[in-house]
A = this chain, B = another copy of it.
Amino acid sequence: MALIVHKYGGTSMGSTERIKNVARRVAKWHDAGHQIIVVPSAMSGETNRLIGLAKEVMGQPDPRELDMIAATGEQVSVGLLSMALLAIGKKAISYAGWQVPIKTDSAFNKARIQSIDDVKVRRDLDAGKIVIIAGFQGVDVDGNIATLGRGGSDTSAVAIAVAMQALECLIFTDVDGVYTTDPRVVPEARRLKTVTFEEMLELASLGSKVLQIRSVEFAGNYRMPTRVLSSLTDPMIPLEIEANSGTLISFEEDTHMEQAVISGIAFSRDEAKITVLAVPDKPGIAYQILGPIADANIEVDMIIQNQSVEGKTDFTFTVLRNDHAKAMDVLNKSVKAHIGAASIVGDTKVSKVSVVGVGMRSHVGIASQMFRTLSEEGINIQMISTSEIKISVLIDEKYMELAVRALHKTFNLENA
């Protein structure tokens, strides 16, 4: 017998029929002798409906009042799921965030969890009840409802698992795990049985949007084994099969032995490149260029500064594609004349491809194998950035799929 947390997303909770399926799946786990806490999201579409109403009365909704409204979606979900369990003869009880309580700071719409009281929940579990806790929400020190922001239910589930010292946190979703790359680009892409938290962070931030990134950080910081698995299977699939399905996000030391050098190939089309040409190469030039960009709330990803030639250098960086026009505008208006740049050129037809794997820490030659592969395919590398567990390159977007397929093959990901 173990304590296990289940999390179900909006699609899994999308109708009363689907909620009944969730109840059957949860009951199966409880019948096997486990203590179960369930954290459901709002029914799909509900959060958008509520935010839409808010925007109709106030163009920029007040953050506190928006949380008051948005939190109701999950409150309805927990009540419905609890009733669906009661209807099939299980003992169950639902809690809104403030009832647990899940205490947060007062950063409405993007609050962070500070503490979770386990007294009520522990008592209910010991009484044989399945406990349903609203994700995405908590209560601040003044008794205001605060929500964690989009995808916050993942974070709630992991945080509750940590607070309750659960054995594992199971994130049931509409994909069946984390893949070596997007199967729509590489049909041979393989589901990973395990991935480390660090790899998952890189894979998530680079476009494999399976889990909210904050929940992965949380799971990593508190070393909570977290599994991503499908909620679309028959709910009565044997538990021992389900318990080993999907992808387990775990600790490096646990999984290192069986770990391939490279875990996956991530990519992003959502990139744009900006180059400031022939800038006088003086101290502070990077700040003079990127300061106004940061002030405009534009996030910068890759940055390179060329070797100086005759006291002039070129400065290149990337931004999200829909920030490109704004960034060009900032530079042309506030920066160009001021720093004495010759010109500023932009390119929105670029993509980023990244090779990710904790194994590359202890393996030399990954970068050179990556560059050789791209070279053999005739793909020019425009920018490079590296971290301990990934190497990213910026390339012409028309070669993106080709690059991903070639790298997937060269690192033998379909067979690992």
Contact = CB atoms under 8 A, between A and B. Distances in A.
Contacts of A80: 53-54, 57, 65, 69
Contact of A94 (B53, B68, B72): B68
Contact of A87 (B58, B78, B94): B58
A82 B65 contact: yes
B83 A62 contact: yes
A93 B79 CA distance: 26
Given A65-B79, A68-B96, A69-B76, A53 B87 contact: no
A258 interface: no
B53 A76 contact: yes
A345 to B, nearest CB: 42
Contact of A57 (B59, B64, B87): B87
Contacts of A96: 68, 145
Contacts of A78: 68
Q: How large is the interface on A (under 10, 10 to 19, 20 to 34, 35 or more residues)?
A: 35 or more
Given A68-B75, A79-B68, A83-B62, A57 B94 contact: no
A20 interface: yes
A77 to B, nearest CB: 9
Contacts of A204: none
Interface SS of chain A: helix
Most chain B beta-carbon contacts within 10 A, residue among A59, A62, A79:
A79
A69 B68 CA distance: 14
A66 interface: yes
A39 interface: no
B59 A87 contact: yes
A367 to B, nearest CB: 52
A84 B68 contact: no
Contacts of A65: 79-80, 82-83, 86, 94
- Please tell me how many copies of the chain the complex holds: 2
A23 B84 CA distance: 38
A303 interface: no
Nearest to A80: B57
A54 B83 contact: yes
Given A50-B76, A53-B80, A76-B53, A143 B99 contact: yes
Nearest to A99: B143
A247 B116 CA distance: 50
Interface in A38-55: 50, 53-54
Contacts of A93: 64
A56 interface: yes
Contacts of A66: 79, 83
A23 B19 CA distance: 37
Contacts of A143: 99
Contacts of A23: 57
A54 B79 contact: yes
B76 A61 contact: no
Nearest to A72: B72
A392 to B, nearest CB: 42
A79 B62 CA distance: 9
A86 B58 contact: yes
Interface of A: 16, 19-20, 23, 50, 53-54, 56-59, 61-62, 64-66, 68-69, 71-72, 75-76, 78-80, 82-84, 86-87, 93-94, 96, 98-99, 143-145
11 contacts: A50-B76, A53-B80, A54-B80, A57-B80, A57-B83, A57-B87, A58-B87, A59-B87, A62-B86, A66-B83, A98-B98
Given A98-B98, A99-B143, 14 more contacts: A16-B56, A20-B57, A50-B76, A54-B80, A58-B87, A62-B83, A65-B82, A65-B83, A65-B86, A68-B78, A69-B76, A69-B79, A72-B72, A72-B76
